[in-house]
Amino acid sequence: MKKLLTLLTLITFLPLTLLAHLNIAVSYPYIGALTKTIGGEHITTTVLAKGNWDPHFIIPRPSLITKVRNADALIMNGGQLEIGWLPPLINRAGNPKTSPSSATFLNLSHHVELINKPSEVDRKDGDIHPDGNPHFHLSPQNILFLAQTIKKFLISIDKEHYEVYEKNYADFSKMWNQKMNEWSQKMSDKKGLKVIQFHDNLAYFNKAYGLINIGTIEPLPGIPPSSRHTIETIELIKKENPCCILHDVYHSTKTADFISLKTGIKIVLMPHDLEALENIDDLGSLFDHLTSAIK
Amino acid sequence: MKKILLSSVLCTALVYGADVLPVEKRTFDQSKFIPDISLILDASYVDRNVKDDEVGHLELPGVAHGLLGSHSHGDDNHATYNAENGFNINYAELVLSSSVDPFFTMDGVFHFSENGVEIEELFFTSNALGYGTKIKGGKFNSNFGYLNEQHHHYWDFADMPLVYEAFLGMHGINEKGAQIQWTAPTPFYLMAGFEVLQGENEQMFGNETIGDVEDPIAAGKDGPTLYIGYIKASHDIGNTTLLGGLSYAQGKSRIDHSGDEENPHAFSGDAKLYGADFVVLHALDSYKSIKWQSEYLQRELDGTQYALDTDGTVLGSPSMLKEQSGLYSQLIYTHDKNWRMGARYDTILKNDVTKNGLDVEQHSGLDKYTAMVEYHTSEFARFRLQYSRDNAMFNEDGQREKIDTVILQANISIGAHAAHSF
C-alpha cells in the first residue's frame, strides 16, 4: 500500500518537477529566440505571434489566452506594436504574472531609444505610433541591448541561475559582435543608397547602415495604398532614382509590382522576423539575409 | 475708479495665469492619469417599406412585440436602433477605461442618445487572484453565448440577430451583478464562468412586483434572481480557429405591459435560457479572413399570463408555457483592411405556446435574411450598407408584414479605444 502511495505521489509530482523551469511567453519570434539564447535550458518560451504575418495585426485567438494564462513571465516588444491584440489576451488570462505592473513583465521598448517619435500625435496622420517607431529590433546594435535587457530581466526573476544567464549572454555578445563586423563590411558600399518601403519598418536597419528611406508605398502609416499616392511615388522614383523597394513579406506586392513595371525599380523582399521567409530560423540568419538582400 | 482697479487686477491675474508652467513642473498635476477615452458615433440612414407609425406596432407573435421603431410604455420612451425612416443617431458611446491600482481596472461605457444617457456598462475587473481566475463586478454584458458580450459597434450587422432581439431585447443580457471566470491550465483554451445577476431584462427576466404593491397582480422577489453559467473551448488547426460554447441562464420572469394602451397584459413565472454557439475563423493572411458564426438559443417561460384592462384589473389569468427556440448563422468575408462583406440567416425554429394546457396556434416560417457590405477608411471609421428581408413580423390583425430594410450605417470612433477580444 505504502509503495503504491509513493508511486502515486511520484506520478503526481514528477511532471511538476520536470516543468520547474520558467515558461516565458513572448509576443514575437525574435524575442523568443533572444530569450532562449540567454535562458538556455532553464527556460521554455511560448511565442504568441507568427513571424511571417503583420506584427500589428495578430488575431487574438482564444488559444493565445491559454498561452498567457500558463506563462510565468511575459516579454513584449512594446512601443504600441501589440496594442491591437495583446491587451485583451492579458485581460482574459487571469494571470497576475503577466500583468504589466508585475515584476515578471518586461516591455522591451522601455530599454532602447526609439526614433521617429512624432512631434504631433493626430490620427489625420494615419495610424502612427506616438512613442516612435517600434521596429527597433531590426538594428543589430539594438539586438545586443535587448539581449542585455533580457539577461538582466531573467536574473531578476531567477537569481539562482544568474551565472548561466551571464555566461550565455557573454557567449552571445561575443558571437554577435563578430557578426556585426561582418555585416558592417558587407554593407559598407551601400551607405547613402536611397530606398522605398511599403511601411517604414526598416527604419532602424536603414539608420544602422546609412540607407536613406525616401518614401513609403502606403500614403500614411496603416492606410492602404491609394492610386494618387502611387502616382506620386512613381514620380518620386523617377526623380530620386532609389535603388530598390524594400518590401515586407506580409503586404501584397501588387502596388509595388505596378510601380516596378512603370519605373523598372527592383523589389527586394525583406524579412522582419524569424520565419518571415524560409530558412530564416535564427537571429543570425535574419541579419545575414537582410545584409545580403540588396545587390 | 473701483471698477478700473478691479479690472486691472483681474487683467494682471489673467496675464500671470496665462504663464502656465510646463506639465512636468506642475507639482500637483495629475493630467497623466487621464484614463483612455474614446467616443463612438453610430448614425444611420434607413429606408424601410413600412411606415414609422406602423412599424412599432408589429409583433413577433407569441415571442415579442415592439422590436422595431420607437414605442412608449408608461412614462418610458424607448427608441430601438435604426428606429425611423430617414436619419437616425443611434448613440454616442463614451468609453473610459484605466487601471485603478495594481489590482483592478475599471471600465465605463455610456450611451448618449436623444432620449438621455444610459449606463451601458460600468464595472471593475481583477486578475489579481491568479490561477486563471478573473472577477468582474458592476453592470456589464453577460458572457452568455458569443455575441452577447460584444458592443453594438463591434457587431457585423447593424441590427441584432432576430432570436437575440426577440428573446432578450436590443441590449441582450445587460445586468448588474458579479462574474467569475476561470481559464483552465489545459494545452487548449477551456474557460468556465458563472454570473449572479439582478435579473431585469425587459423581454425575459424580471423580479419586480407587477401592479399595486398592496394588492399585487404578481408579487416581486428581491434580487439577485438571475444565474448564468457557461463553458467555452477553443482549438486551432493551422490558421483556423474553432470556438464553441454552451450557456445556461435561469431566473425569474416578470414581463410588465400593464401600461400599454392596447391589450395591457403581464406575465409572471420562471425563465430558462439555453445557448449553444460555434465560431470558425480561417485567416488567409494578415488581413484576409472568413468567419462563420452561429448561435442557437432555446427558452422556456413557465408561469401565469395576466390579461388586464386599462385600470389594471385582472380579466383573466391562464397558466402559460412558452417553449421557443431560434438560431442565426452568419458568414463574414474580410477582404482587406478596406472591404468586408457578409450574409446572415435568422429563424425562429420552435414557437410552442400553451395556455391552460391548450396549444395556441402560432405562425411558422418566422425568418429573416440579411446581407451587408462595409468600407473602412481606416480602423476608426466604417461605413456599412445593409439590406434585410424580415418575414417574422405580423400586424395587429394577425397579417404577416414583410419588411424590407436598407440601412446605410456610419460608425466612427475617436480617441483611445481598447482592442477587442476574439
In this predicted model, what pLDDT tens digit does every residue of A117-132 receive, in sequence order? 988 888 888 888 889 9
**What string of DSSP letters covers B247-259?**
EEEEEEEEEEETT
pLDDT band at B312 (very low <50, low <70, confident <90, very high): confident
Alpha helices in A94-190, H assignment, sequence order: 140-157, 162-187
Contact B133 A94 (CB under 8 A): yes
> B203 by DSSP, 3-state: which?
coil
CB atoms within 10 A of CB B349: 15
E-strand stretches of B131-201: 133-141, 174-183, 189-197
Nearest to B103 by CA among B120, B128, B84, B78: B128
Gap between the Cα atoms of A36 and A33, Å rounded: 5
Of A86, A24, A91, A43, the C-alpha closest to B183 is A91
Asked if residue B293 lies in contact with residue B146, where contact means CB atoms within 8 angstroms, the answer is yes
Which residue's C-alpha cell is 513595371?
Answer: A261
Q: Measured between alpha carbons, how far is A190 from A209 in angstroms, rounded to an integer?
A: 7
Segment B295-299 mean pLDDT: 98
Q: Are B66 and B259 in contact (CB under 8 A)?
A: no
Q: Distance between CA atoms of A190 and A186, rounded to whole angstroms?
A: 8
Residue with cell 443611434: B90
- Which residues of chain B does A251 touch, with a Cβ-Cβ cutoff of 8 Å? 286
Give the distance from residue B225's alpha carbon to the nearest chain A alpha carbon, in angstroms.
26
Task: Show the beta-strand stretches assigned E in B311-362.
Answer: 314-316, 319-334, 339-355, 358-360
User: In angstroms, rounded to a whole number, what is the distance separating the alpha carbons of residues B117 and B128?
Assistant: 32
Distance CA A249, CA A260 (A): 17
C-alpha cell at A116: 521617429
Which chain B residues have a beta carbon less than 8 Å from that of A65? 183, 189, 191
Q: CB neighbours (10 Å) of residue A118?
A: 14
Residue of A nearest to B414 (CA): A123
Out of A85, A96, A222, closest to residue B419 by CB: A85
Domain B41-415, CATH homologous superfamily name and number: Porin (2.40.160.10)
Name the average pLDDT for chain A.
92
Other C-beta atoms closer than 10 Å to the C-beta of B51 total 10
List chain B residues with CB under 8 Å of A92: 134, 181, 183, 421
Angstrom distance (rounded) from CA A251 to CA A280:
18
What residues contact residue B167 under an 8 Å CB cut-off, 6+ apart? B63, B64, B203, B204, B273, B297, B299, B324, B326
Task: Round to whole Å and give the CA distance between B80 and B203.
Answer: 14
A residues 59-118 near B, CB within 8 Å?
59-63, 65-66, 69-70, 83-97, 99, 101
Distance CA(B7)–CA(B232), nearest Å, equals 68
Q: Which helix (H) or strand (E) holds B2?
A: helix B2-18
pLDDT at residue B330 above 80? yes
Q: Could B241 and A61 be called an inter-chain contact, meaning their C-beta atoms sit closer than 8 Å?
A: yes
Alpha carbon of B379: minimum distance to chain A alpha carbons (Å): 8
Domains and CATH numbers, chain A: 18-111+129-181 (3.40.50.1980), 189-293 (3.40.50.1980)
pLDDT tens track for B205-214: 999 998 888 8
Distance from CA of B235 to the nearest CA of A (A): 6
Interchain contact, A62 vs B125, CB within 8 Å = no
Q: How far is B57 from chain A (nearest CA, A)?
A: 41
Segment B33-44 shows an average pLDDT of: 95
Determine the distance in angstroms separating the CA of B179 from the nearest CA of chain A, rounded to an integer.
13
Average pLDDT over residues A276-280: 92
Encode pLDDT of A40-76 as tens digits: 999 999 999 999 999 999 999 999 999 999 999 999 9
Say yes or no to pLDDT of A16 above 70: no
Of A61, A95, A99, the CB nearest to B422: A61
In Å, how far are A72, A151, B168, B204 from B227, measured between CA atoms? Answer: 34, 48, 15, 13
Q: Which residues of B touch A89 (CB under 8 A)?
A: 421
Cell of A276: 518571415
Check whether B195 has a pLDDT greater than 90: yes
CB B265 within 8 A of CB B312: no
Distance of CA B397 to the CA centre of its chain: 30
Other Cβ atoms within 10 Å of A79 Cβ, number = 22
Q: Which residues on adjacent β-strands are paired with residue B242?
A: B235, B280
Q: What H or E segment, with its residue span, contains residue B35?
A: none
Q: Between A65, A95, A123, which is nearest B189 by CB?
A: A65
Summarize pLDDT for B96-140 with one digit per residue, the tens. Answer: 999 999 899 999 999 999 889 999 999 999 999 999 999 999 999
CB contact under 8 A, B134 and A94: yes
Strands B339-355 and B366-378: antiparallel
pLDDT at res. A128: 85
Query: Tell me, what's the pLDDT at A125?
Result: 85
Average predicted confidence (pLDDT) for chain B: 90
pLDDT in tens, A86-124: 999 999 999 999 999 899 999 999 999 999 998 888 888
Beta bridge mates, B321: B302, B354
How far apart CA A91 and CA A62 sit, in angstroms, is: 12
* Percentage of chain B exceeding pLDDT 90: 71
Q: Do A69 and B183 touch (CB under 8 A)?
A: yes
By Cβ distance, the residue of A57, A69, A89 closest to B287 is A57
Q: What is the pLDDT of residues B71-83, one digit of tens each?
A: 554 445 566 899 9
Q: Which residues of B touch A94 (CB under 8 A)?
A: 127, 129-134, 181-183
CA distance B241 to B278: 11
Contact A63 B188 (CB under 8 A): yes
- Residue B91's CB is within 10 A of a number of other CB atoms, namely 23
Minimum CA–CA partner of A121 in chain B = B415
E strand or H helix at B96: strand B86-101
Is 70 exceeded by the pLDDT of residue B391? yes
Is A62 within 8 Å of B232 when comparing Cβ atoms?
A: yes
User: What is this model's ipTM?
Assistant: 0.90
CB-based contact A175:A169 (threshold 8 Å)? no
Tracing cell 491675474 back to the chain, one arrives at B13
Contact call for B185 and A70, based on CB within 8 A: yes
Of A66, A92, A96, which has the smallest distance from its Cβ to B421's Cβ?
Answer: A92
Distance from CA of A263 to the nearest CA of B (A): 26
- Reading the block at residue B306, the C-alpha cell is 395576466
Residues 246-275 of A with CB under 8 A from B: 250-251
**Interstrand relation of B381-390 and B366-378 (parallel, antiparallel or unpaired):** antiparallel
Instruction: Quote the pLDDT of residue A188.
Output: 94
- Please count the residue pairs, one from chain A and one from chain B, whose beta carbons lie less than 8 angstroms apart: 112
Q: Sort out which chain B residues have CB atoms less than 8 A from A96's CB and list them.
A: 127-130
Average pLDDT over residues B329-336: 97
Q: Judge contact between A133 and A113, C-beta under 8 A.
A: no
Do strands A194-197 and A244-247 pair parallel, antiparallel, or not at all (unpaired)?
parallel
Between chains, do B235 and A126 touch, taking CB under 8 Å as contact? no
pLDDT at A1 over 80: no
Report which DSSP code applies to B216: -
Q: What is the DSSP string of A150-170?
A: HHHHHHHH-GGGHHHHHHHHH
Examine the pLDDT at A17 and tell me if it is beyond 50: no
Instruction: Give me the pLDDT at residue B306, please.
Output: 93
Angle at B244 between CA B241 and CA B250, to 5 degrees: 155
Largest Cα–Cα distance in chain B? 91
| Helix/strand/coil percent split, chain A, to 5 | 50, 10, 35
DSSP letter for each residue of A5-74: HHHHHHHHHHHHHHT-SEEEEESSHHHHHHHHHHHGGGEEEEE-S-TTS-TT-----HHHHHHHHT-SEE
Strand partners, B270: B252, B302
CB contact under 8 A, B234 and A63: yes
Reported as a pLDDT band with limits 50, 70 and 90, residue B56 is confident
Q: With an 8 Å Cβ cutoff, are A91 and B125 in contact?
A: yes
